[in-house]
Amino acid sequence: MSEVTVLLSREKRFLVLLGIICLALVGGALYMQVVLQEMPCPLCILQRYALLFIALFAFIGAAMPGRRSLTVFEALVVVSAIGGAVAAGNHVYVLANPSVSCGVDVLQPFVDGLPLANAWPLVFQVGGFCTTAYPPVLGLSLAQWALVAFVLTIVLVPLGVLRNRRNG
């Protein structure tokens, strides 16, 4: 195996791991919704979409044969993570400032009107308010954890690409 092949293989393994982590986060959110009855707000649903897009692009990228196509999907992963970070950052702000509305009246019809909300309402329909503060997990709110995950993705994916491509 050439060094370039080994480095691309490392990138692809990272993408598969990232996709699995994103699916696990969505699974955790569904557990909290169904079992703990913690209903998702519009910003929560937008974060789910971002996580699913990251997972989808990561898995497709890992299946790509060449460096160029892999890079395209890694860029789509980062763009999805930026969208997720915007939603999570807004959610963190709303939780820190409960008097600020997350725009339930504005966002809810939009989010509930997306195609997946009709196909899988349990997963993608709004059922709660962004100002609802659920118990923290290890000291952070779910929105804060999501923001950490999105920022790590935004930073680590390009760093991995740069490290692997510089060496190859």
DSSP for 113-134 reads: TSHHHHH-HHHHS--S-TT--P
Strands (E), 63-132: none
Predicted structure pTM score: 0.87
Domain count along the chain: 1
Regarding predicted confidence, which is higher, 167 or 63?
63
pLDDT in tens, 134-143: 888 888 888 8
Question: Does residue 104 surpass a pLDDT of 60?
Answer: no
What residue numbers bound the domain in which 159 lies? Answer: 3-167
| Rounded Cα gap, residues 38 and 22, in angstroms | 19
Instruction: List the single range of 74-83, 101-110, 128-137, 138-147 with lowest mean pLDDT.
Output: 101-110
Here the CATH number for the domain that contains residue 163 is: 1.20.1550.10
Q: Is the pLDDT of residue 85 over 80?
A: yes
Query: Helices (H), strands (E): how many in the chain?
Result: 7, 0
